[in-house]
Amino acid sequence: MPPTFYTAGGDDGTKNPDYFLKYLDRTYCEAKPEAQAIIQLKTLRQRDNERLATFLPRFERTLADAGGYAWPDAVKITMLEGALNRELMDLLITVDLPEDYGHWISRVGGIATKLEQRARANPRVARRRSPAPPVAPRDYDGDVQMSGAVR
C-alpha cells in the first residue's frame, strides 16, 4: 500500500523519497531475471518425444540465465537429470557417468542418440507405453464371465 507507506513516512518516518522508491521497487518490480530463470529451471522438463539435441540448448540457455554456468558440475548435472524424460533416465540408471558436466553431456548425448535412432527404426518397440488394461475373461460364446454373480 504506497499511500500507507508514504503517509507513515517510510521505514524511519522521514518521508525520504529514496526509501519510497526502494519500497516501490520491492513491491511492484518483477523478480530479478536470475531468480525467474532459477524458477524456470526447476520446472523445465524434456517432453517424452523431444530429442535431447533439441532440449539441451533450451536447458543450457535457462541455466545461463540463472547464472548456473558458475555452479559446481554436480549441481548442473543434478538439475539436468531432473529435467530429462523418464525413458532416458531409466536407461541411465545402470550407466556409470562422469562427474564432469561436459563429459556427462557427451556420454548422455551418445546414449540419447542411440535411443532416438532406435525409436525411428522401430517406433512400435521403442516407446514404452503403459500396459494395456486387463481383458476380462470370456466364455465360449464371447460373453464376459461374471464371477460372483447371483444365479
61 and 77 together in one domain: yes
Q: From CA 62, how far away is CA 68, in angstroms rounded?
A: 8
Return the number of other C-beta atoms located less than 10 Å from residue 86's C-beta.
Answer: 11
| 137 inside domain | no
Residue 138, beta-bridge partner list: 144
Return the number of other C-beta atoms located less than 10 Å from residue 59's C-beta.
Answer: 21
DSSP H helices, 47-142, are 52-65, 73-83, 86-92, 101-121, 123-126
85 and 118 together in one domain: yes
Phi, psi of 128 (to 5 degrees): -75, 135
| 140 inside domain | no
24 and 61 together in one domain: no
| pLDDT averaged over every residue in the chain | 82
62 and 91 together in one domain: yes
* Apex 34 CA angle, 29 and 36, nearest 5: 65
| 131 inside domain | no
17 and 82 together in one domain: no
pLDDT reported for residue 61: 95
6 and 60 together in one domain: no
17 and 67 together in one domain: no
| 136 inside domain | no
Q: Provide the domain limits for residue 39.
A: 33-126
44 and 67 together in one domain: yes
12-24 pLDDT tens trace? 777 777 777 777 7
Q: pTM of the predicted model, to two decimals?
A: 0.61
What residue type is 47 in one-letter code?
Answer: R
What is the number of structural domains in the chain? 2
3-class state of residue 134 by DSSP: coil
24 and 95 together in one domain: no
Q: From CA 38, how far away is CA 83, in angstroms rounded?
A: 13
Q: From CA 50, how far away is CA 83, in angstroms rounded?
A: 12
25 and 49 together in one domain: no
What lies within 8 Å, CB to CB, of 128 at 6+ separation is 87
pLDDT reported for residue 60: 96
| 142 inside domain | no
pLDDT category at 41 given cuts 50, 70, 90 is very high
| 133 inside domain | no
84 and 117 together in one domain: yes
40 and 63 together in one domain: yes
Quick one: average pLDDT of 100-117?
Answer: 94
